[in-house]
Chains A and B, each alone.
Chain A
Amino acid sequence: MNITRFLFAASIGLTCITVHAEDAKTTDQAKPKITFEEHVKPIFRQHCLTCHNQSDKRGGLAIDSYGAMLEGGGSGDVVYDDGDIDASRLWQLVNHDDTPVMPPEQPKIPAEQLAILKAWIEGGILENSGSQAKAKKNNALAMATPATGKPEGPPPMPMALPQKVPVVTPRASAVTAIGASPWAPLIAVAGQKQIVLYHGETAELLGILPFEEGIAQSLRFSRDGRFLIAGGGEHSVRGIVAVYEIENGTRVATIGDDLDTVFDADCNDTMSRVALGGPQRMLRIFDATDGSLLFDLKKHTDWIYAVAFSPDGVLVASGDRSGGLVVWEAATGRQFLDLIDHKGAINSLSWRDDSNVLASASDDGTVKLWDMVQGKAIKSINVNGGAVTAVRFDHKGQLVTTSNDRKARLFDAAGNQTKEFPPLPEAALEAAITHDSSRIVYGDWTGTVQLTTIADPPVATPLAANPPPAAERLQVVEQTLASIRTQLEPLAVASQAAKIKLDEAQQRMNEADAAVKAAMAAVQASQAKEQSLRTQSQQLREKLPAMTTTSRDTHDAVIAARLALGDTTDAAKTEAVAVAELSLAKLMTEIAETRRGLVQSLVQAEAEKAVMAELTAKVKPVEDALAQKRAEVEAMKKAFDQAQQAHDAVAATMSEQERKKAALAAAMQ
């Protein structure tokens, strides 16, 4: 009794201690510790252990002890200690993300218990209260910064493409392939013996690449966007891969010679390897430069539906009709990973830009994301639209899918659906996303292909996989041309009128300018005149002292002469006096004249100054008039420029149309 009591007391004490310790921890982590022994095992006991105990081990899995659980089951590990819930097979099955749902043929485990399981897995599958969680790793879906492969210079766009339509059909067949350039607004759609290229923004038909081998089953652009890789051919007859240069549409290589069509083909980053697969079940890798077969890889047990090189060219993935998915080393042809999880045909494969994640779309209704480092599925996206027919990554790691329920969907980099696009008339079969992630292109069984903006509201533009023949398009171009011409005519007239007005205004401005110049000249002349008068006056003034001095000298000479004469009548002396007096008189006259001249000049200068002021006053209005005329001219010029621009713009489209017309006309011949 006593002992019991003692123990009781002790346990209370211990409890107090642990409580304190836990308090400290919870403040650390702000989360209670979920452990296997304490929280999870009771849930397992309730729902799972009847089958998954260590004696029965259904599916090779026992989860009645922590150690046994870590060993995993027949299909590998069921939980991971890095907190990765999406990768946990156990979670996928109990959360009904994947099949077979667990527990089988019973209701789903209640939500609150699921929450505990989730917290436990995310918390690092702790065994007991003493266990420590591992540091949580970065989300595998966090994309490493990839080497983009974006080419130097402007993104490659077609310059001159063939326009001839090899086969004209009134109806399009089910769409087999859609491709989008990774760097340019350029979209390729497969048709009958042709690949139709459209502008990714305007939806304008840029050209048609002939594919006389049959129907292209896959369209992929090279990493730099300069080449288009088309795999396809004629069913049961021949399969090839054709590589086209985008700028001029020439086929630069034709690789492979399969006995049945090629369902998918891809080139590596350096365009040195081509991989293809089809109903022959062989993944074949060719040297792209000389077309020689490098590897003939036999592993798939059913038709290969999808083939894709990783963007860095290191790996190549291939998926087949029975759900087999294999990743190979591109350089050696050795198997790198055998990814087993899909329960239906794999219809499409796409790599994320960083080459670490591969997306596979399957008939089992899921898109699975596979991590190349861990070698396992890190996410299984339930698309909820029946068989998933296509999947494509964009540069941001977003995914676009199409599925049997006729819809296209967009998922963010974490695999959450962000958008659902309007349905097409039938099962959607192919999808692509444009280089700037602004639009998606998707097509269906009826051959309907739509270019749809991602921004709301979605604006859909149809793209035809069966373009009308060149002649028909020529007609359309001619019609456009005619309508442009009628548009252009009034514009030309308006522009002409503006020109005339401008010229007139110019004329008027010139006149005003001349008037201003004349007025200015008059002022200047007057100023010069005044100046010269003043100068003259100055000169006269400067002459005066010398003359005065000379006159004084001359007067002195007169006096002297007179004195010398005195009252004599000496003629000579008188003469001399006369001469002196005459000279003085002359001099004096001269001085007087000078004085007068001086005054007169000044007076004249003053007068001229008045004239100048008058003239200067006249300049201002003339100048004002000129400014006005100049403004008028500016306005006219503007008007003219506008008219001219309007005209030129239309004229440019006309010349574009004319170029098209010429190309089409050439194509028709």
Chain B
Amino acid sequence: MIRTRRVVAAQATNHASLWLAFYLIAFAVSMVIGHTATGASPDAAVSQPDPQKTIQLDVYPPTITLNSASDFQSFVAVLRRDDGVTLDVSDRVRWTLDDDKLARLDGHILRPVADGKTKLSARYEGALVQVDVEVQHAAETPEISFTKDVMPVLTRSGCNTGSCHGAARGKDGFRMSLFGFDPQGDYQRITREIGVRRINLALPAESLFLKKSIGAVPHSGGKLFDVDSDYYATLHRWLQAGAPNDPAATPPPAVTSVAIYPPQVVLEGKAATQRMVAVATYADGTTRDLSRLAAFSTNNASVAAIEQDGIVTADSRGEAFVMARFDTHTVGSQILTLPEGLQYSPPPAQPGNYVDELVDLKLQKLRIVPSGPCTDEEFIRRITIDVTGLLPTEEETLRFTADPAPDKREALVDQLLSRKEFSEIWAMKFAQLLMIKSSNEVSKKSALLYANWLIDQFARNVPINEMVHDLLTSTGGTFSEPATNFYQVERDTLKVSENVAQVFMGIRTQCAQCHNHPFDRWTMNDYYGFTAFFAQIGRKQAEDYREQIVFNSFGGETKHPVTNQNVAPKFLGGDAPETNGKDRRVVLADWLVSPENPFFASSIANRVWAHYMGVGIIDQVDDIRISNPATNPELLDMLGKKLIEYNYDFRKLVRDICVSRAYSRSSQTNETNAHDTRNYAHAVIRRIPAESMLDCLCQITEAPEKFSGLPLGSRAVQIADGAVTNYFLDTFGRSPRVTVCDCEASTDPSLSQALHLLNGNSVHDKITRSNVVKKWLEQEKLNADQILDRIYVRALSRKPDPAEREAMQAMLAAEGANAQQVLEDVFWAVLNGREFVFNH
């Protein structure tokens, strides 16, 4: 396919002569490659914004090929204004064909006439964009193919969704494979099951299959299309031809890629629309217009809705992602919607690292003004909880707030990162993901050894890639090589592969076990190809009955449940490597932690980012999929790259994040960023995780907790065995370590949490049992105000405000007030306040 296009670019503008001269030069050069006419350099536009100025006209798709008499291709012209807003100008553009004997224009659809090559020209206000058009086989009308033509109609019509015939047991006696993962099975069921129930080759129009879909007979799924639709025509033609199957020897070409255009849309004002064009490319090089065949969807209909004809309509302000699903491919396009007539002036550029640059860039696109920086008190509390899982001590807080040094925040970050609590937090997080927990399969000793191994890895700052590599390739006894417990915690081959994908790549492959992933690229082939890496794990009993030995058995295969054939190992989204004579896990681990794997570094970076920023660039952090796109892909990419650059030492990455302006923003919102939670325009308020919260409570009340198997004074973060827990931790959503899902550790509120803080033994008992107030009163001889300060600084890292102070004074002044009791009550009240429970 020829990708060179001559673009004659010109702009009808009334600019200064300088601009005119520039255009003339541009005109003279006029050798811009691409389906784009560009009138000015973007840099110039940014430096001197003129919102209404149009700088770019694009025509999609970038090339058009028509492959048969029945083929067609729709196209769209998009004008991008200087302020980034895009307009669908297909109706306003003058479309012409260089040679109208080869093809004909039918609205915004191009239909073939005769074979040959020509160009489709779009003219708009002096700009001209040309798109190559190639017509092949214009005289041939291909036969209807079941896989290539019939299945897309069924999928598009929603016949094989999970709520309809795609359900595991089918619907109303008719089952199809979910989203068509098994076309041959579907062919058999449609044509062969129950004789002529579904099809009637004598009278094709009498086929139940057709009558149901047009609603001519009662159908639970209702009417799906009209008799005069092209869908009906396709099915009817196929039935008229005798409902043939695709020849097994020469199957129709597979879909190699799907594209959706335009790649990014910025809509201004409610009800602004943009028509999307989706194009599939097949293995034989032919293309196909999917406007009538892809299933379109949006991940945020309140921002941008998309109809099944591909028209996106803007609604409330925000960001959405519209997707086209066809065959096993899902592709998406970002849609930004802005209110009409929005007054926006970007905030003055401030120094910052790459994190801030990329975050600010996104915020500019969205016309969002970020919140200002948080106070020092907020900052020290926020970062201390995030990095160490503890509260800053009174002394730390006071010293920090009093410190006049301009780089004191960076210094604090560095100081906190060097503390052992930092690695303990991450060891615990990974222990949750790895489900370290004693059970029937994993003895207590194994679990402890496994946890110690993990803590040691983090304490020694072993690069995460090395740690994961060691973990995946671990061989030996579960005592002598504790990392082998990874294969002991989960013994099911399928689940092991799912866990590896979810924990280390952030991908949930579970769907693809039974059918192609409906909203992602993963097929059953991918799933079983990936699973094959774990098919040869051998296990045997060691001398100690509690110990198992994990080894590579060099035997065992994975069978594809549809074809019942062995599946060769294949990296998820990568190649099929040669594994003969090798430990497949080593082959996998080598690839998994290598930079060739696009998922490892970025998904780890995303987990790190989410921990400190409250929400992942991709959220959930372990649900990376096309239909759940990154809010800031450039940032995610950069974080991943940096992690690799830092040799997988994510302490450095954490530093980058924590010293950024984005991290230290106030949680107070302004008018422009109040609606936004995903672009880091303000700090996200988060409840403190269960373990850290208990540790904080113990810390400030000086009343340590006793956990089974650990010495008194150990922190909840240090609990190695997931089976060890207490009521507080369970109530506050500690991870039960049953699955690898990041969501297992929950910070969702519940009534029992509130009641437990109010009435349970954790707060009240700790205050009274430790006698900390009494100690302050009697040993340190502090007065009530000092104690109040101490309580506030300890719990909230700030001094009480006058109203709070007055309230305490009022209580102390009351008749018969006992200072200790009043202060304990105040302490109790502070710990029950929302300000304490949240990291803000």
Cα A600 to Cα B369 in complex, Å, equals 178
State whether the Cβ of A429 lies closer than 8 Å to any Cβ in chain B.
yes
Interface residues of B in 120-154 (CB under 8 A from A): none
Give Cα distance in the complex from A261 to B200, angstroms.
14
Report A215-251 residues with CB < 8 Å from chain B CB. 215, 217, 234-237
Given the known interface contacts A171-B242, A174-B195, A236-B212, the answer about A279 and B203 at a Cβ–Cβ threshold of 8 Å is no
In the complex, are the beta carbons of A445 and B195 less than 8 A apart? Answer: yes
* Complex-state Cα separation, A303 to B173, whole angstroms: 8
User: With an 8 A cutoff between CB atoms, is B817 at the interface?
Assistant: no
Inter-chain contact A447/B208, CB cutoff 8 Å:
no
Within B193-245, the residues touching A (CB, 8 Å) are 195-197, 200-203, 206, 208, 211-212, 217-219, 242
Interface code A177-200, partner B: CB below 8 Å = 1, 0 otherwise? 000000000000001100000000
Taking a contact as CB atoms closer than 8 A, the residue among B173, B201, B217, B242 that contacts A237 in the complex is B217
**Interface Cβ pair total, 8 Å cutoff:** 55
Residue A368, interface by CB 8 Å = no
Contact check, B203 vs A169: say whether CB atoms are below 8 A apart: yes
Give every chain B residue within 8 A of A172 (Cβ-Cβ): 201-202
B675 at the interface (CB under 8 A from A): no
Tell me whether A173 and B173 are in contact (CB under 8 A): no
Question: Counting CB contacts under 8 A, is A167 at the interface?
Answer: yes
In the complex, chain B residues whose CB is within 8 Å of the CB of A259: 218
Across the interface, B203 reaches (CB within 8 A) one of A167, A175, A303, namely A167
* B196 touching A279, Cβ below 8 Å: no
* One of B201, B211, B212, B217 near A173 (C-beta < 8 A): B201
Q: Within 8 Å of chain A (Cβ to Cβ): is B781?
A: no
Q: Which residue of A lies closest to B200 (CB)?
A: A173
Chain B nearest CB, measured from A122 CB (Å): 38
Whether the Cβ atoms of B196 and A173 lie closer than 8 Å is: yes
Q: How far is the CB of B228 from chain A (nearest CB, A)?
A: 22
Instruction: Tell which of B173, B197, B208 has the most Cβ of chain A within 10 Å.
Output: B197
Contact B202 A321 (CB under 8 A): no
B208 and A192 within 8 A (CB): no
Inter-chain CA distance A279–B201, complex, in Å, is: 21
Any A CB within 8 A of the CB of B192: yes
CA distance in complex: A261, B197 (Å)? 9
Chain B residues with Cβ below 8 Å from A236 are 208, 211-212, 217-219
CB distance from B209 to the nearest CB of A (A): 10
**Contact between A321 and B217 (Cβ–Cβ < 8 Å)?**
no
User: Are A215's CB and B196's CB within 8 A?
Assistant: yes
Q: Which residues of A contact B218 (CB under 8 A)?
A: 236-237, 259
C-alpha spacing A167/B205, complex, angstroms? 13
Q: How far is the CA of A235 from the CA of B208 in the complex (A)?
A: 7
Instruction: Give min CB distance, B127 to chain A, whole Å.
Output: 56
Q: Is the CB of B212 within 8 A of A171?
A: no
A135-187 residues at the B interface, CB under 8 angstroms: 167, 169, 171-176
Which of A436-478 touch B at CB < 8 Å?
Answer: 445-447, 466
**Contacts A167-B203, A169-B203 hold; do A176 and B173 have CB atoms under 8 A apart?**
no
C-alpha gap A302/B173 in the complex (Å): 8
Q: Decide: A173 and B192 in contact? CB cutoff 8 A.
A: no
CA distance in complex: A175, B196 (Å): 8
Q: Which residues of A contact B192 (CB under 8 A)?
A: 427, 445
Q: Which residue of B lies closest to A302 (CB)?
A: B173
CA of A136 to CA of B621, assembled, Å: 73
The reply to whether B217 and A235 contact each other, CB–CB distance below 8 Å, is yes
A237 CA / B203 CA spacing, docked (Å):
17
Q: In whole angstroms, what is the CA distance A446 to B192 when docked?
A: 11
- Complex interface: chain B residues within 8 A of A261 (CB): 197
User: Interface size (B, Cβ < 8 Å)?
Assistant: 17
- B203 / chain A contacts, CB cutoff of 8 Å: 167, 169, 173, 192
Q: How far is the CA of A429 from the CA of B194 in the complex (A)?
A: 9
Task: Find the A residue at minimum CB distance from B172.
Answer: A279
Shortest CB-to-CB span from A37 to chain B, Å, is 38
Q: B219: which A residues are within 8 A, CB to CB?
A: 236
Residues of B within 8 A of A466 (CB): 202
List which B496-548 residues lie within 8 A (CB) of chain A: none
Q: Are A173 and B208 in contact (CB under 8 A)?
A: no
Query: For the complex, what is the distance from the CA of A167 to the CA of B200, rounded to whole Å?
Result: 13
By beta carbon, the residue of chain B nearest A238 is B217
Secondary structure type dominating chain A contacts: loop
Q: What residue of chain B has the Cβ atom nearest to residue A237's Cβ?
A: B217
Whole-angstrom distance between the alpha carbons of A660 and B196 in the complex? 33
Question: Chain B residues near A175 (CB, 8 Å)?
Answer: 195
A346 to chain B, nearest CB (A): 13
The 0/1 profile, CB within 8 Å of B marked 1, for residues 263-299 of chain A is 0000000000000000100000000000000000000
Nearest CB in chain A to that of B197: its residue: A235
Q: Which residue on chain A has the smallest CB distance to residue B201? A: A173
B195 contact set on A, CB distance < 8 A: 174-176, 217, 429, 445
Q: A173-B196, A236-B219, A427-B192 are in contact. Are A447 and B211 (CB under 8 A)?
A: no
User: Chain B's nearest CB lies how many Å from the CB of A403?
Assistant: 13
Residue of A nearest to B208 (CB): A235
**Would you call B202 and A171 a contact (CB within 8 A)?**
yes
Known contacts A235-B208, A236-B217, A302-B173; decide if A173 and B197 are in contact (CB<8 Å): no
What is the CB-to-nearest-CB distance from B217 to chain A, in angstroms, rounded to a whole number? 4
CB A259 to nearest CB in B, in angstroms, measures 8
Known: A235-B208, A235-B217, A236-B208. A174 touches B173 (CB 8 A): no
Q: Roughly how many angstroms separate A174 CA and B192 CA in the complex, as a whole number?
A: 9
A447 to B203, CA, bound (A): 12
Residues of B within 8 A of A191 (CB): 202
Nearest-neighbour CB distance to chain A for B648, whole angstroms, equals 46
Q: Which of A171, A279, A445 contacts B173 (CB 8 A)?
A: A279
The minimal Cβ–Cβ distance linking B469 to chain A, given in whole angstroms, is 37
Which residues of A have CB within 8 Å of B196?
A: 173-174, 176, 215
B614 CB → nearest A CB, Å: 51
Alpha-carbon distance between A14 and B206 when the two chains are bound, in angstroms = 84
Q: In whole angstroms, what is the CA distance A171 to B218 when docked?
A: 27
* Assembly CA distance A237 to B197 (angstroms): 12
**Quick check: B197 and A447 within 8 Å, CB to CB?**
no
CA distance A175 to B201 in the complex (A): 11
| Chain B CB within 10 Å, residue with most, of A174, A237, A302 | A174
A609 to chain B, nearest CB (A): 98
Q: How far is the CA of A427 from the CA of B203 in the complex (A)?
A: 20
CA of A466 to CA of B202, assembled, Å: 8
Q: Which residues of B contact A303 (CB under 8 A)?
A: 173
Are B212 and A174 interface neighbours, CB within 8 A? Answer: no
Closest Cβ of chain A to B461, distance in Å, is 50
A217-B202 Cα distance, complex, nearest whole Å: 15
Taking CB atoms, residues of chain B closer than 8 Å to A174 are 195-196, 201
Complex Cα spacing A261 to B217, Å: 12
A306 to B73, CA, bound (A): 50
Return chain B residues, CB-CB under 8 Å to A215.
196, 200
In the complex, A173 Cα to B208 Cα: how many Å? 13
Q: In the assembly, what is the distance between CA of A351 and CA of B542, in Å?
A: 63
Q: How far is the CA of A173 from the CA of B212 in the complex (A)?
A: 19
Question: B202's contact among A192, A235, A427, A445, by CB below 8 Å, is which?
Answer: A192
Query: Shortest beta-carbon distance, A424 to chain B, in Å?
Result: 14
CA distance in complex: A171, B206 (Å): 13
Distance in Å: Cβ of A169 to nearest Cβ of chain B: 4
CB distance from A580 to the nearest CB of B (A): 134
| A171–B208 CB distance below 8 A | no
Provide the bound-state CA to CA distance between A446 and B242, in Å. 9
Query: CA of A176 to CA of B198 in the docked complex: distance in angstroms?
Result: 12
Instruction: Give complex CA distance A62, B201 in Å.
Output: 53
Q: List 9 A-B contacts (CB under 8 A).
A: A167-B203, A172-B202, A191-B202, A192-B203, A235-B208, A235-B217, A236-B212, A321-B173, A429-B195
Given contacts A167-B202, A217-B195, A303-B173, 6 further A-B contacts (CB under 8 A): A172-B201, A173-B203, A191-B202, A192-B206, A236-B208, A466-B202
Chain B residues near A (Cβ < 8 Å): 173, 192, 195-197, 200-203, 206, 208, 211-212, 217-219, 242
| 10 cross-chain pairs, A with B, having the tightest CB-CB distances, nearest first | A173-B202, A169-B202, A236-B217, A235-B208, A174-B196, A174-B195, A173-B196, A173-B200, A173-B201, A192-B202
